[in-house]
Amino acid sequence: MTTALGSVAAGAILALVAIFGGVAAISPSANSAAKSERVVIYDAP
């Protein structure tokens, strides 16, 4: 019983961290370098 409760609690905490991490990852816009340039740089961060 204790083991099961521990698993559920640990799983819930980690799931929350994963969700918040995922949301944080989604927030910045993709490839958000300057739109207009003479050359589209392939490895611009």
Partner 1 sequence: MRGLVILCSVVLAGVILGPALGRGVVLAYDLAWSPDARLTPFATGITTPTPRAVPSDAFVWLLGAAITPSLAQKVVLAALLIGASLGAAALLREVRPVAGRWGLCAAALAAVWNPFVSERLVIGQWTVLLGYAVLPWAVRAARRAVVGQTGSLPVALWLGVSGVGGVNSVLLVVLGVFAILLAGARRAPRRMIAHLCVATGATLGISAAWMVPSLVAEIAVDSRSVAAFGPAPDTPLGVWGSLVSGGGFWNVAAHPAARDTVFVSVTAAALSLVAMGIYLVEVRRRNALELAAPVIVGALVVVLSALPALRTMWEWLVTEVPGGGALRDSQKFLAPWMVAVAVGVGLVVDSLRRDRRPWGTPGAVVVIGSVVVLSSQLVWGVGGRLDAVRVPADYRAAAAALSTMPPGEVGVLPWSQYRRYAWNGDRVSLTLAPRMIDQRVLSDDSLPLRSGVISGESPRSAQVSEDIASGLTPVAALSRAGVRYLFVERGAGFEEDGTDEAAARAAGRVVAETESVLLVELPGGGFGAVQMPRANTVGWEITLLTSVVLVTLGGVRVVRRRLPAGLLRSRP
When asked if residue 1 is in the footprint of partner 1 (CB under 8 A), the reply is no
Distance in Å, CB of 39 to partner 1, minimum: 5
Burial class of residue 38, CB neighbours in 10 A (0-12, 13-18, 19+): exposed
Q: What number of chain residues touch partner 1 (CB under 8 A)?
A: 34
DSSP state of 38: S
Any idea how long the chain is?
45
When asked if residue 39 is in the footprint of partner 1 (CB under 8 A), the reply is yes
Q: Which residues of this chain interact with partner 1, rule CB under 8 A?
A: 2-4, 6-7, 10-11, 13-15, 17-19, 21-22, 24-26, 28-32, 35-45
